Amino acid sequence: MPLTSTGDIVGPARAATSGVGAFNVVQIEHAEAIVAGAERAGLPVVLQISENTARYHGSLAPIGLASLALARAASMPVAVHLDHAESTALVHEAVELGFTSVMFDASTLPYAENVEATRAVTDHCHRAQVWVEAELGEVGGKDGAHAPGVRTDPDEARAFVAATGVDALAVAVGSSHAMLTRDAVLDFGLISRLRAAIDVPLVLHGSSGVGDTDLAKAVAAGMTKVNISTHLNKLFTRTVRERLDAAPEVADPRKYLGPARRVVEWEVARLLGVLVGG
C-alpha cells in the first residue's frame, strides 16, 4: 500500500463515525512500531512528527524521510503528518519532502492574525494537495484552552473553518497534552455540538490522558483524528528501564530498544481497535 493522503484516511472515518489513530514519532523505533501496529490491527494510521521532534533531530528531513519510507513500504494505508508546526518554513519543508498533511499552530496569535496566517498556509498546502489541520485557541498547550473551564466555541469554530479553509480542526473539549494519567474529563455534549457546527473532521489532542472507554465515547460523539504520544512514550521508556534494570551490563541498544518497540507495536494495534469500536 503506497503512502496515503491523510484526507483519504480521515475523511471516510468521519463519514463512518469511526476514529483514526495518529501517533507521534520521536525516533525511528516509534515509526517502525506504529506502522507494525497498524499492520497487526489491519487498520490505517497516521505517523506524526512534531516541530519539537524535528528540532531534536536537527532538522525535519532525517526522521521525516525515514517515516515516509516506512509508510511507502507498509501493507496498510499510512499517512505522514507534521504536528504542531508554528514555523511556516517548516510547513513548506514538509510539503517539499512529501508529507501528506500538516498541522499549523498559530493559536497563540490574536484571532484575526491566526486566521490570516492559517489561511496563507492552507492556500500553500492545498496547491500541493496537502491536507491542513489547525487549531482555534491554545488547544495544544499546557494551560491555554486546556486550562480549567476553557472550551472551543462552536460558532467561533464554524467561522474559523469558513475563513481559513482548513481540512480539520483541533478543538478543546477537556483533554491536555503530556498527561501521565488517563483521567481527563471530556465534554461529550460539546463534541457533539462541534460535530454538528462544522463540516470538517474534529481532532482530539492530548488523548494520552483519556481512557479507553472515553476515547470510544469521544469518537461516537464526533471526534475523528485522535492524537496519542505521551502514553506510548511512557510504555517505551518503562520497557527500556525494565530491560536495563534486569541486565545492567547490556551495551547493545537493540537489546532494550527492540523490546520497547514491540510493546509500542502491540499498544498501537490495541488502541486502533478501540478507536474503530473493536
Active site residues: 83
> Going by DSSP bridges, is the β-strand pair 20-24/223-228 parallel, antiparallel, or unpaired?
parallel
Helix runs in 145-228, H state only: 154-164, 188-197, 212-221
Task: Say how many Å lie between the first and final Cα of the chain, rounded.
Answer: 23
Residues near 154 by Cβ (< 8 Å), separated by ≥ 6? 190, 193, 194, 196, 197, 198
Contact between 125 and 132 under an 8 Å Cβ cutoff? The reply is: yes
b/e for 227-243, b at 16 or more Cβ within 10 A?
bbbbbbbebbeebbeeb
| Cβ–Cβ < 8 Å for 118, 150 | no
User: 201, 179 in Cβ contact below 8 A?
Assistant: no
- Answer for the pair 112, 134: CB distance below 8 angstroms, yes or no: no
Rounded to 10°, the helix 212-221/188-197 angle is 30
- Are the C-beta atoms of 86 and 93 separated by less than 8 Å? no
Residue type present at position 201: P
